[in-house]
């Protein structure tokens, strides 16, 4: 029997976002490898931007499925809250202890330790650390779930029923992540403040009234912190969802998609942190 389709002759396979050939060309070396990596990164960024634009469109014009959004709020927010509180609790103790040690080496006065700690928590630490933890837990889960649906052809079945995978799979996770990230950051940040206050009392003799000093926190810090929460909450499901939809190669491909989702989501959080922090310092000082 003669197979007329060239892709079938080459043993090609397909993913949810395009056709993947199994016969790969020889890998470039040296400067060509760097150029290929940059082009691949730009191509991936362009595809993720396209997924982001489509997700925004379906958020306002797509199907209304509040039940799916509530389920994702539970999966992303409720199931991550204990993990985030434990992480931020230890971060509060570590940051306060290390900062206190460094301050005492320079000056004997640690009365402003709490004020500086609160400013860092509100402006950067709470949102960034929580987002990195969500990228590992939530990002990996989204990529694994969607990737498994791709390799078992459930995504193709969705398309056959006229349901767009971005509207059906990514939009509920996008909306839920944007909402629940800020709620989790506020609660976990509160836990870190309590553990930092306890550490200040136990190791440096700082009273609770002295430690809870909001004099250095202004509206600019709050706006920057909330902006980071929304940006991180939007980026994690977009990046992870794209990694899941671009899965190919069976169960091994799902594993690679999960790894890519964690790495790329964490990288997105760090890049967004750089740009939002820079804009915040330019606008609010």
CB 270 within 8 A of CB 79: no
Short-list 243, 95, 272, 79, CA closest to 169: 243
pLDDT tens-digit series, residues 193-230: 999 999 999 999 999 999 999 989 999 999 999 999 99
pLDDT-derived band at 2, boundaries 50, 70, 90: very low
CB 234 within 8 A of CB 177: yes
Provide the greatest CA pair distance for the chain.
Answer: 86
**CA 212/CA 52 separation, integer angstroms:** 40
* Average pLDDT estimate for 120-134: 93
> If DSSP states are collapsed to H, E and C, what string results for the chain?
CCCCCHHHHCCCEEECCEEECCCCCCCCCCHHHHHHHHHHHHHHHHHHHHHHHHHHHHHHHCCCCHHHHHHHHHHHHHHHHHHHHHHHHHHHHHHHHHHHHHHHHHCCCCCCHHHHHHHHHHHHHHHHHHHHHHHHHHHHHHHHHHHHHHHCCHHHHHHHCCCCHHHHHHHHHHHHHHHHHHHHHHHHHHHHHHHHHHHHHHHHCCCHHHHCCCCCCCHHHHHHHHHHHHHHHHHHHHHHHHHHHCCCCHHHHHHHHHHHHHHHHHHHHHHHHHHHHHHHHHHHC
Q: Highest-confidence range of 15-29, 76-90, 148-162, 242-256, by mean pLDDT?
A: 76-90
Give the end-to-end CA distance of the chain in Å, rounded to a whole number: 72
**pLDDT of 87:** 95
pLDDT tens-digit series, residues 185-201: 999 999 999 999 999 99
Residues 6+ apart with CB under 8 A from 49: none
Burial 241-272 (b: 16+ CB within 10 A, else e): bbbbbbbbbeeebbebbbebbbebbbebbeeb
Report CA Rg, the chain.
23
pLDDT above 50: residue 57: yes
């Amino acid at each position: 029997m003669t197979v007329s389709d060239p892709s079938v002759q080459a043993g090609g396979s397909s993913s949810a976002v395009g056709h993947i050939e199994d016969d790969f060309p020889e890998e470039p070396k040296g400067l060509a490898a760097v150029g290929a990596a940059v082009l691949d990164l730009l191509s991936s960024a362009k595809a993720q931007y396209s997924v982001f634009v489509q997700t925004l469109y379906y958020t306002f014009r797509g199907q209304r499925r509040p039940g799916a959004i509530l389920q994702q709020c539970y999966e992303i927010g409720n199931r991550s809250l204990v993990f985030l509180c434990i992480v931020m609790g230890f971060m509060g103790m570590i940051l306060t202890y290390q900062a206190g040690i460094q301050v005492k080496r320079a000056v004997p006065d640690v009365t402003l330790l709490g004020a500086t700690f609160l400013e860092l928590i509100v402006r950067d630490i709470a949102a960034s650390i929580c987002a990195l933890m969500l990228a590992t837990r939530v990002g990996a889960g989204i990529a694994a779930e969607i990737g498994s649906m791709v390799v078992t052809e459930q995504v193709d079945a969705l398309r056959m029923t006229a349901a767009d995978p971005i509207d059906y799979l990514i939009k509920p996770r996008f909306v839920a992540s944007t909402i629940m990230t800020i709620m989790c950051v506020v609660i976990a940040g509160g836990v870190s403040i309590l553990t930092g206050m306890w550490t200040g009392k136990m190791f440096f003799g700082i009273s609770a009234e002295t430690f809870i000093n909001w004099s250095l926190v202004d509206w600019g810090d709050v706006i920057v912190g909330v902006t980071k929460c929304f940006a991180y909450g939007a980026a994690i499901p977009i990046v992870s969802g794209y990694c899941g939809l671009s899965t190919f190669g069976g169960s091994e491909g799902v594993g690679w998609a999960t790894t890519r989702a964690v790495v790329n989501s964490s990288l997105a959080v760090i890049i967004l942190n750089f740009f939002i922090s820079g804009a915040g310092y330019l606008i609010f000082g």
